């Protein structure tokens, strides 16, 4: 079942972060769970669609797809990730 949430924060260098879900606990996000190839970027507040799965360490987001970017000034909260790194 697909859910929607907003990027709470994402660390570009580490390649992970969290998605805030309304009325539910935050879920872990790892760069390799994002849809698409090549260079990707995320900003705090971006709306995403994803599937929640249970892993060895708890819940995580899989098949993550950004629905719309948040408009914000350059350099404020933007995070970018590169697939496969």
Instruction: Find out whether 67 and 48 touch, Cβ atoms under 8 Å.
Output: yes
Percent of the chain's residues with pLDDT above 90: 48
Say which CATH number the domain at 33 has. 2.40.50.140
Q: How far is CA 49 from CA 13, 22, 75, in A?
A: 23, 13, 24
Mean pLDDT over 13-22 rounds to: 90
Beta bridge partners of 41: 80
Q: Specify the pairing of strand 47-55 against strand 16-21.
A: unpaired
Number of domains comprising the chain? 1
Q: Write down how long the chain is.
A: 85
pLDDT classification of 38: cutoffs 50, 70, 90: low
Contacts of 53 (CB under 8 A, 6+ apart): 59, 60, 61, 62
Range of the domain at 66: 2-82
Q: What's the pLDDT tens digit per position in 41-78?
A: 788 998 999 999 999 999 999 999 999 765 554 444 44
pTM equals 0.76
């Amino acid at each position: 079942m697909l859910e929607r949430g907003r990027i709470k924060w994402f660390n570009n260098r580490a390649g992970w972060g969290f998605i805030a879900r309304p009325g539910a606990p935050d879920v872990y996000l790892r760069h390799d769970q994002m849809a698409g190839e090549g260079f990707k970027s995320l900003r705090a507040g971006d709306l995403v669609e994803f599937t929640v799965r249970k892993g060895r360490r708890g819940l995580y987001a899989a098949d993550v797809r950004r629905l719309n970017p948040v408009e914000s000034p350059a350099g404020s909260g933007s995070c970018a990730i590169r697939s496969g790194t």
